[in-house]
Every structure is written in structure tokens, then in C-alpha cells.
Amino acid sequence: MIDAPDEESFVARFGDLYENSSWIVRAAWAGRPYADAAAFIAATARIVREAGEAAQLSLIRAHPELARRFGVDPQLGALSAAEQAGAGLDRLTEREFAEFRALNEAYRARFDMPFVICVGEAGGKAAIRAALERRLTHTAREECDEALRQIDRIAALRLKGRLAS
């Protein structure tokens, strides 16, 4: 069961599941308790979908670009840094780093938001790069929808890790 004795404790425990967007978990407080992780993620995903386009874009834009340097990029928080490290993005060669930077810039120029992918499920840096290249062909609506799906997957993985600890 997912619950907490009060709203502040609930937000303190789960507020970072969505990158710099604790408003989602704060809104989910009203629906607790949740029977399990799947019910909680379904509720938070619904909150995001019902929040409107401006809030959705704000959520997407709260995510750091991939392959940024922890300790150098102030937007790259500890959870994101650990997730990116797990996918090998902290060990890019200079050439790979330059390629990711160019792809990130092309993506941002096309969609006005960072590329978001659940790196914990993506299959490593080569698969992430291939997904980035493929998703550059999407329409803006397709890409916004895909980014939100990826954000839900990120939150689900973070929640799984939180509940396991």
C-alpha cells in the first residue's frame, strides 16, 4: 500500500518521482491510499494527462538533457545522474559526447524541449542514441505524447526502487 500519515510526508517520500515536479504527487495525495505501485503510477499519469498542455510541457522541460556532466550541469540532479550513469552516459568518449550534444541540440531546436527517455529501460547508450535519432522524425504531438509516456516509466522505475529500499 502506498500512503503516508500526512501530505508533507507523502510529498517528501514521493515528490521527486517526477523531475522537479512535486505538484503531481501533491495532487495524488487526495487519492490515497493506493493499493500498489501500479495504482499510484496510474493516478499520477492521469493527473499529468488532465493537467493541460502548459503543465505537461513544463514537466517535460523540467528534465535534464541526456549525456550532461554531473557536477558541471546544475540541472542534473542525483537521481537523473545515477540513472544516466547506469546507462553508460557518464562514460561517453569525446566523440560520443559531441554526437549526443549535436543530437540534443537538433532535438531541442525541433521540439523546444529536452529529449526524455527512461534510460533504465532503454538498453544502453547505443539504443538511447538510436531512439533519439528515430524520434527526431516524430511530429510535435507524437513527441510530446512519447515524452510523457517515458516520464511515467521513469516515475514507475523510481517508485519501484523507492519501495524496494
Are 20 and 60 in contact by the 8 Å Cβ rule? The answer is no
pTM summary value? 0.89
CA dihedral for 97, 98, 101, 102, sign (positive or negative): negative
Q: How many domains does the chain have?
A: 1
Q: Check residue 70 and give its pLDDT.
A: 44
Cβ density class 64-80: b for 16+ within 10 Å, e for less? bbbbbebeeeeebbeeb
The answer to the question of residue 114 being in a domain is yes
**Is 55 part of any domain?**
yes
Q: Indicate which residues carry an active-site annotation.
A: 63
Domain that holds residue 68: 7-164
Where residue 140 sits, what CATH number does that domain have? 1.10.3330.10
20-55: per-residue pLDDT in tens? 899 999 999 999 999 999 999 999 999 999 999 999
Question: Domain for residue 94, yes or no?
Answer: yes
